[in-house]
Amino acid sequence: MITCHFTSQINRLWRRLPRFIYSVTVDFMVVLFGGTQLQAVILDPGTASASKGRGKKMPGALVDIGGRPLIEHQLDFLFGGGIESACVCTGENGYGAFRDWLRGCAYTGRVELVTNGSHNGDNAGPLHDLGMILEHGNFTDGVVVTEGNRYFDFPFEGFVRFCGEHDGDVVVVMNVRNGGKAVRCGMAAVTANERIISFAVDPKGKTGTSLVALPLLHLSAETIPYLGRYLSEGNDADRIGSFLEWSYRFRPLFAYKAEGKHFRVTNAASAKKIASHFEKSGRI
């Protein structure tokens, strides 16, 4: 059972700014992105090695990248492109570290921390976590879903705009040279209007497509109830792509072709790649 831990500083951002300034900012975002206040759910993908060799394990989202944890860079990306608030899910082992981070984070008032109650990796699966969050939340405009150890670098506002223009679900796709299982959530084939007509998590043989679907997607409000049905049937709860492979037969699924970079942090070497990218782009 999911337990929600609301930070005692939930209104910290509101206290920093006059109330009317915050209200004007929210109203501007609603107008800019078609009358919606999008929310995001960042799922816990597990731990990563903080240093080379047998380094101390920590939540992948909290690995240091240029003096800030990865998740803060991820929130910069999401909030800068139109997301209004985010729910971060973690297990009990990582909750304390996330709580300490959130206390000093500039986004405190816009981030809710949730624990799935798991210990030592005995979680029922990220999709189970997502189902519990969506069941108890208010997601009338749908929800953007991603994983905490990922970083994307492309104009996210284009994705948000694309979602508003298409009646269905949307997943980010890229022409990724290394489209292995560790990187992707599926392989997608699309029509001329970007609708996905074939989606496979573990394709057998040649797929006829170079488009790799990545774990950054928008589920519409109409699709959210289908997740409960999917889980009740005993389907795979570990991979986001498994749900998309099932749901695109019932709900329209579109591909947003992003031009940019994608990173996944699992160890010191992969964290170094992101840091190098940030240095080259002048971010750190």
Q: What is the CATH number of the domain that holds 265?
A: 3.90.550.10
Amino acid 267: pLDDT: 85
Q: What phi and psi, each to the nearest 5 degrees, are found at residue 138?
A: -115, 100
Contact 186, 247 (CB under 8 A): no
Q: Which residues of the chain have pLDDT under 70?
A: 1-36, 45-56, 120-122, 177-183, 205-208
Q: 3-state DSSP call for residue 184?
A: coil
Q: 3-state DSSP call for residue 37?
A: coil
What CA–CA distance (Å, rounded) separates 180 from 257? 18
Domain count of the fold of the chain: 1
What CA–CA distance (Å, rounded) separates 138 from 248? 23
Amino acid 206: pLDDT: 61
What CA–CA distance (Å, rounded) separates 94 from 90? 6
What CA–CA distance (Å, rounded) separates 2 from 244? 23
- Which residues span the domain enclosing 205? 3-280
Amino acid 44: pLDDT: 82
Residues 6+ apart with CB under 8 A from 73: 65, 151, 274, 278
pLDDT digits (tens, 9 = 90+) for 198-240: 999 988 766 667 889 999 999 999 999 999 999 999 999 999 9
Amino acid 144: pLDDT: 98
Predicted TM-score (pTM) of this structure: 0.83
Q: 3-state DSSP call for residue 284?
A: coil
